[in-house]
Amino acid sequence: MEARLRVDWIRCDGYGLCGDFVPEVIDLDEWRYPIIDPRPIDGELLHAAQRAVDCCPMKALILESAPSESRRRR
């Protein structure tokens, strides 16, 4: 299975824990808001990504199976 991370930007408050959990996929900007690598995630990283989702204090991080809606739109 391949998946992608998506952020609910209205919920996200910039705690930045996600970037600490999966730095391979999530970079943080200077305000600790995530910058997500758009490439699909699989294998080992999927577990780390799921952990980042589970630990988001705002429940603002979403793991969805690829292709994401945004990819289909383009």
Partner 1 sequence: MPTPDPTQRLLAGPPLDGNPERLDAHLTRLGALPSADNHLDLISSLEASGLLGRGGAGFPVGRKWRALAERKSGTAVVVVNGAEGEPASAKDRILMAHRPHLVVDGASLAAEAVGADEIIFYVGREHAAAVAAMGRAIDERRAEVRQAMRLVTAPVGYVAGEASAAVHYLNSGDARPTTTPPRVSSSGVHGRPTLLQNVESLAYAALIARFGDRWYRSAGRLDSRGTALITVSGAARRPGVMEIELGTTVGEIAAAAGTTAPRVQAVVLGGYFGTWARVDDAWGLPLDPDAMKPKGLTFGCGIVGLLPTELCGVSATAEIMAFMATESAGQCGPCVFGLRAIGAATHRVANGAAGGGELGDIERWVSQIPGRGACRHPDGAMQLMASALEVFGDEFIHHARTGRCSITGSRGEAA
C-beta of 13 vs 47, nearer to partner 1: 13
Closest to partner 1 by CB, 2 or 13:
13
Closest CB 15 distance from partner 1, rounded Å: 10
Q: What's the half-sphere exposure (Cβ side, CA atoms, 13 Å) at 34?
A: 31
Task: Tell me the C-alpha distance between 12 and 65, whole Å.
Answer: 21
Alpha-helix residue ranges (DSSP H) falling in 1-74? 17-21, 44-55, 69-73
Cβ at position 69, least distance to partner 1 in Å? 7
**Which residues contact partner 1 (rule: CB under 8 A)?**
7-14, 29, 31, 33, 35, 69
